[in-house]
């Protein structure tokens, strides 16, 4: 078990478009990395984590709305194929600790990806799982939750976050 360092929203890796994971790259080393991502997510009581949050610019995410060990969904190269409806809820992020904002996202999504066994899959989800999937896919696209709020709110979050980081 390894707990990886969480990168904050100011780190360059958080703003890069992550590279696709080739099937050949889903090997024992990748399984260990994903296991460390899962341990890190649980350690920080998160419901999702993306590879850039732990310093790797690859298209890998883990989601776990129940927060129960064993319920994790590991996805490589996830892409949203379809989305419907909208819902606004408060979101936070392991990379922006202590800050939340009301974020509007699709209520229902269909996501295509590869799993840890290199199988293609589609996930149709709604509600909380759909929100987590969208949030984590944003990370591998170089976006953060506050990119989906007004410029004024975004500026306020960034200003206050930078101030909080300076104090530590």
The CATH number of the domain holding residue 153 is 3.90.45.10
Single pTM value for the model: 0.95
Given the residues 25, 68, 124, 136, the one annotated as active site: 136
Residue 111 Cα distances to 35, 108, 124, 131, 142, angstroms: 22, 10, 7, 12, 18
* pLDDT tens, position by position, 103-159: 999 999 999 999 999 999 999 999 999 999 999 999 999 999 999 999 999 999 999
H helical segments located in the chain: 28-43, 128-140, 151-167
4 belongs to a structural domain: no
Q: Among this protein's residues, is 136 annotated catalytic?
A: yes
Contact 18, 141 (CB under 8 A): yes
DSSP-derived secondary structure letter, 56: -
7 belongs to a structural domain: no
Q: How many domains does the chain have?
A: 1
Closest CA relative to residue 91, chosen from 77, 101, 80, 78? 101
Enclosing domain of residue 146: 12-167
109 belongs to a structural domain: yes
* pLDDT tens, position by position, 71-91: 999 999 999 999 999 999 999
């Amino acid at each position: 078990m390894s707990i990886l360092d969480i990168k904050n929203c100011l780190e360059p890796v958080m703003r890069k478009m992550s590279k696709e994971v080739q099937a050949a790259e889903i090997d024992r080393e990748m399984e260990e990395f994903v296991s460390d991502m899962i341990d890190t997510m649980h350690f920080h009581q998160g419901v999702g984590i993306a590879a850039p949050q732990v310093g790797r610019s690859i298209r890998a995410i883990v989601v776990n709305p129940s927060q129960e060990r064993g319920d994790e969904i590991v996805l490589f190269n996830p892409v949203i194929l379809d989305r419907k409806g909208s819902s606004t809820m408060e979101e936070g992020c392991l990379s922006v600790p202590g800050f939340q904002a009301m974020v509007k996202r699709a209520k229902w999504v269909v996501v295509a990806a590869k799993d840890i066994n290199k199988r293609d899959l589609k996930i149709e989800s709604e509600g909380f799982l759909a929100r987590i999937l969208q949030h984590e896919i944003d990370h591998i696209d170089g976006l953060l939750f506050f990119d989906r709020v007004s410029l004024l709110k975004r500026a306020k979050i960034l200003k206050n976050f930078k101030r909080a980081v300076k104090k530590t």
